[in-house]
Amino acid sequence: MAKKTIGVVAAKGEKPVLAIVGRPNVGKSTLFNRLVGRRAAIVEDMPGVTRDRQYGDAEVLGQAFIAIDTGGFEPDTEDLLLKEMREQATIAIEEADAVLVMFDGPDGLLPADIEITRMLQRSNKPVHFAVNKIDGDRLEPLVAEFYALGTHQLWSISAQHGTGVLDLMEAVLSDLPEV
């Protein structure tokens, strides 16, 4: 499968770049759409809908940046489609100034989440970790399991409803270079 780039990346130095990564169906495209302010990425409840990198101009709290939506990242797979999606996510991470890793709260902590976290902790990029689909206080206890990852900060969010997204993005933006 040929590598595709959907959208246009600004020349390095124009705007900082944020890559959104995680397993399939954790809500990456939903968050991407919220950040770019329109339904730019297709959102479906099935893996493999987002296969290539998708770029979008975003502005949060007055700071402009480029967001990259990626397909699901499966660190250890032999499936050709999942391998291609992993390669696309890896390219996005390399292009990014900061990385946002998303987890699915109701799914719980899975081995792929651990592997993605370990890989990104070894990178030289600022990395932020968000537990998604925390749609209300009754789901907040689901976040506790993810502290086993040893991350310094976890953000509980609902990309669909916007809960916690502004607090998360305030932290992310502090790690993006000034334009």
- Summarised one tens digit per residue, pLDDT across range 88-133 is 777 888 899 999 999 999 999 999 999 889 888 888 899 999 999 9
- Summarised one tens digit per residue, pLDDT across range 137-164 is 999 999 999 999 998 899 999 999 999 9
pLDDT of residue 4: 31
The number of residues making up the chain comes to 179
| Average pLDDT rounded to a whole number, residues 18-44 | 83
pLDDT of residue 121: 86
